[in-house]
Amino acid sequence: MTRADHGRYPYSALPDRPVYDWPDGKRLAVYFAINLETFSFGEGLGAKLAPSLGEPDVLNYTWRDYGNRVGAWRLRDLFDELELPASVLVNTWLYDEAPELVAAFRARGDEIVAHGRTNSERQGAMSEEEERTMIAEVTARIATEEGRPPLGWLGPWISQSRATPDLLAEAGYKYGLDWAMDEQPLWMKTRGGRLLSIPYPQELNDIPMIVARQGSGAEFADAIIDAFDEMLELGRKAPLVMGVALHSYIVGYPHRLRHLRRALRHIHENRTEVWLTTAGAIADHCGDLLK
């Protein structure tokens, strides 16, 4: 049997890599990815609170819709309270469905990251031409609404085709968040040049932890705190990136928000020890630093 390989990056052991610093000599970069997502009613994909009994799936659709109507606004207030920056991952259908929500995070000066049109679809199921068209559509819409095209991409459902990195590089993207194999940024090969991979969490992510593994809000907050404290120590040996992925229809509910507040306050209290930043700023810092 021939071993299949993606061909995007070579193996590299963390202890063997060059050591460098983040701004101001920091060794741990921390960013928060707030996912603002929208879904089709009566069709398509979507995270589920309970098993679907068929479409229209009112229970699961409205559970998710709560995030844009209520939960995201509470996240906005929490991030304002603690003066935390955010990388906001936006489905572009939100510009039609809830434009004031995207505007609220824009007003904070947050980074807007492309996250496809809707989380009712996944690009890994598209033909290459369909995927190219979708990426172009998303890029153009964000450029129109935000005054400039996005530099970063996270695919809906973190779904990719074999051509996705190539298509993103060809569309002018600087970095992607889909590949979760490291705690440092690294360059990926594409047929049109290089694409920077920024670590995006699948462990410190409320969907896998709370929806898939049935963890509690308290357990999710504890994991954030434990990872932060441990990575501060590990950062003495190597620069690291800690991302935290949040979905407004999960941690925006009061009983989970309470625990998220506890975790973010812990990070806030230790903010002088880390670089609190965005995924885009990490990409900017690493662009010329990583060879």
pLDDT of residue 287: 76
State the Cα–Cα distance between residues 87 and 283, nearest whole angstrom: 12
pLDDT of residue 171: 98
Domains, the chain, with CATH or none: 20-286 (3.20.20.370)
DSSP state for residue 14 in the 8-state scheme? G
pLDDT of residue 173: 98
Contact 226, 15 (CB under 8 A): no
Contacts from 19-26 at CB under 8 Å and sequence distance 24+? 19/237, 19/238, 19/239, 20/239, 20/289, 21/239, 22/239, 22/275, 22/277, 22/285, 23/275, 23/285, 24/275, 26/235, 26/273, 26/274, 26/275
Is it the case that residue 192 has pLDDT exceeding 90? Answer: no
pLDDT of residue 2: 85
Distances from the Cα of 217 to the Cαs of 18, 33, 61, in angstroms?
Answer: 37, 17, 21
What amino acid occupies position 179? W
What number is the average pLDDT over the span 240-248?
98
Contact 59, 111 (CB under 8 A): no
Is it the case that residue 149 has pLDDT exceeding 90? Answer: yes
Is it the case that residue 3 has pLDDT exceeding 90? Answer: no
What number is the average pLDDT over the span 71-87?
98
CA count, 13 A, side-chain hemisphere, 60? 21
Percent of the chain, pLDDT > 90? 95
Tokens 């559509």 locate to 137
Burial label for 50, CB within 10 Å (0-12, 13-18, 19+), is exposed
For residue 15, say if its preceding peptide bond is cis, omega within 30 degrees of 0. no
Is it the case that residue 45 has pLDDT exceeding 90? Answer: yes
